[in-house]
Amino acid sequence: MTAKLIDGVALSRQIREDLGQRAQVLATQGRRPGLAVILVGDDPASAVYVRNKVKACEAHGLHSVFEKYDGGLTEADLLERIRALNADPSIHGILVQMPLPRHIDPHRVIQTIDVHKDVDGFSTLSAGELMSGLPGFRPCTPYGCMKLIESTGVDIRGKHAVVIGRSNTVGKPMALLLLQASATVTVCHSATPDLGLHTRQADILVAAVGRRHTVMREMVKPGAVVIDVGINRNEEGKLQGDVDFEDVREVAGWITPVPGGVGPMTITMLLVNTVEAAERSLLST
Ligand code: NAP
């Protein structure tokens, strides 16, 4: 068997077309969706992520505000800036790029963002909404993974899903989203003995570890849907996921490539959340 490719670039394009139209409708109602992105410090990878997010907003008719501060910015000043954006009616989503300099508490920063503007879905309130099955903003990466899985047409209900990784931003919300979709969910992590014992049972396998060769061919059930969230570099500096793509595609039914799978969907779901935040703000006035 050779797995079908789940094309995150094509799916992103499709979702973004629809978003562009929704943004236009909102603009005619005086509610052009607006995203504020804050970057503190000079981390080069963060600068690239932030630039891509701002560019994506501009390309799809969203208003974007990019605020860059040097690494010496105090926590108090950052919180004050967030409170000002909370009160700004032209801004519907606020994203503070992580990691922050050490003297700033990321938890305090995230909790200061108004939950109605928490388009990253990282606050404890947003996490609680997800946990309780209430409408709210879902963290962009697992939300994008769900769209990728849904795009295969495979019915998630009743399937066994295995998530490798339990971070608050990817693994845990991924498991909750799959549970909400009525999968039977197993969550594995660094203390899980015999990872393959679990992954071989997976109809849907999501790898979110950050380590190459975590998922090898013999660990995958024939026909499984394999979603590779990992971003790693090999010895030549080439981008690779957590899954041994060339080998695993011989047994899986569906597989995401790296790059071109989960990555583009993460930014797309940020735009989705921002447009949704603007739509909700219209309903609440
Ligand atoms: P993280 O916070 O470092 O979490 C990694 C998880 O993997 C942890 O739960 C850890 O377990 C688990 N783990 C580590 N070694 C393991 C092993 N040998 N077997 C099983 N589990 C193991 O990372 P993250 O933020 O969730 O991100 C995961 C990966 O996804 C990274 O490569 C990141 O760059 C990538 N990512 C990609 C996107 C995208 O848009 N494509 C977005 C976000 C993240 P413990 O909890 O026990 O330590």
Please report, in tens digits, the pLDDT of each residue of the chain (285 residues total).
799 999 999 999 999 999 999 999 999 999 999 999 999 999 999 999 999 999 999 999 999 999 999 999 999 999 999 999 999 999 999 999 999 999 999 999 999 999 999 999 999 999 999 999 999 999 999 999 999 999 999 999 999 999 999 999 999 999 999 999 999 999 999 999 999 999 999 999 999 999 999 999 999 999 999 999 999 999 999 999 999 999 999 999 999 999 999 999 999 999 999 999 999 998 887
Measured between alpha carbons, how far is residue 206 from residues 162, 225, 273 in Å?
Answer: 6, 8, 22
Question: What is residue 285's predicted lDDT score, i.e. its pLDDT?
Answer: 73
User: For residue 47, with 0-12 CB atoms within 10 Å meaning exposed, 13-18 middle and 19 or more buried, which class applies?
Assistant: middle
Question: How much is the pLDDT for 41?
Answer: 97
> Could you tell me the two tokens for 18?
């629809």
What one-letter code names the amino acid at 222?
P
Calculate how far, in angstroms, residue 65's C-alpha sits from the geometric centre of ligand 1: 30
At 284 the pLDDT is 82
Domain boundaries, the chain: 30-116, 140-263
| Residue 83 and residue 56 in contact, taking contact as beta carbons nearer than 8 Å | no
231 close to ligand 1 (CB < 6 Angstrom):
yes
CATH fold match for the domains 30-116 and 140-263: yes
For domain 30-116, give the CATH number: 3.40.50.10860
140-263 belongs to CATH 3.40.50.720 = yes
- Calculate how far, in angstroms, residue 113's C-alpha sits from the geometric centre of ligand 1: 25
Predicted structure pTM score: 0.97
Give the residue whose CA is nearest to atom 1 of ligand 1.
167
Residue 227 CB contacts under 8 Å (≥ 6 apart), including other chains: 6, 145, 148, 149, 204, 205, 206, 207, 256, 261, 262
Question: What's the CA gap between 255 and 169, in Å, rounded?
Answer: 22
Mutation test residue for ligand 1: of 43, 186, 209, the one with most atoms within 8 Å of CB: 209
Centre of ligand 1 to C-alpha 33, Å, is 31
Give the per-residue pLDDT at 138.
98
Residue with CA at minimum distance from ligand 1 atom 2: 167
Cβ 106 vs Cβ 77: under 8 Å: no
Q: Is 191 in the pocket of ligand 1 (CB under 6 A)?
A: yes
The residue whose CA is least distant from atom 16 of ligand 1 is 190
Is the CB–ligand 1 distance for residue 206 below 6 Å? Answer: no
- Contact (CB, 8 A) for 261 and 148: yes
- State the CB neighbour count (10 A cutoff) for residue 20: 15
State how far Cα 189 lies from the chain centre.
Answer: 19
Q: What residues are annotated to the active site?
A: 53, 97, 120
Q: What is the pLDDT of residue 1?
A: 72
pLDDT for the residue numbered 213: 97
CA 195 to centroid of ligand 1, rounded, Å:
14
